[in-house]
Amino acid sequence: MGGGRAEWFSVKRFDVRSLRFDERNEAWRRFPVEVEPFVLGGAPYDVRGGQVDLSLSAGRVGERLTLTVSFSATLRGPCDRCLETAEIPVEVRAVEVVRRGESEGADPDEAYVRGSILDIHAWVRDLIASALPERMLCSEGCRGLCPICGANLNTEPEHTHEVTGS
């Protein structure tokens, strides 16, 4: 789909009743969603560009609406070993089932659709948080910091300390 109409404003909430379904009862939208920097376990994270380019597809069967979102993003946060910024590309995809304008079978904290309004901002934020890897590494071979003085061993591979005392 080249040259689709661009929507430059960031979308926070989306009325699912505004979806226009085709003859197969499917609809498709794409829009940018802002992702604010956040702190997890005391460490700061963000998404490169500050937003994701989200694709939303919807399928309708009777009163049941299945929403699928997908996006790719580059997560940034401190490397577990050297504390420099690590960048981790992620592909995210998630599904929400909606019946009569309400998220179905979700725990209330994870009901992203209420009264036909999709809280796309909260959904994306939660998906980003759950996409964070267990270990954030700037590279697989990161050498980390010197345990004695904290020097970055990636930039100073020859770094050593004289062993004193004889």
**Shortest Cβ 142–Zn ion spacing (Å):** 3
Nearest distance from C-beta of residue 77 to Zn ion, angstroms: 11
Nearer to Zn ion, 73 or 79 (CB): 79
Chain residues that interact with Zn ion, rule: CB under 5 A: 79, 81-82, 138, 142, 146, 148-149, 151
Closer to Zn ion at the Cβ: 39 or 148? 148
Q: Give the length of the chain.
A: 166
Given the complex with Zn ion, which of 65 and 82 has the nearer CB atom?
A: 82
Q: Which amino acid is at 121?
A: H
Closest separation in Å from C-beta 123 to Zn ion: 31
Phi and psi at residue 120, to the nearest 5°: -70, -30
Asked if 131 and 43 touch (Cβ cutoff 8 Å), the reply is no
Q: Is 150 left (phi over 0), alpha (psi -120 to 50) or beta?
A: left
Instruction: Name which of 80 and 126 has its Cβ closer to Zn ion.
Output: 80
Smallest gap from Cβ 149 to Zn ion, in A, equals: 3
Instruction: Match 């004193």 to its residue by tokens.
Output: 164
What tokens were used for 142?
């990161």
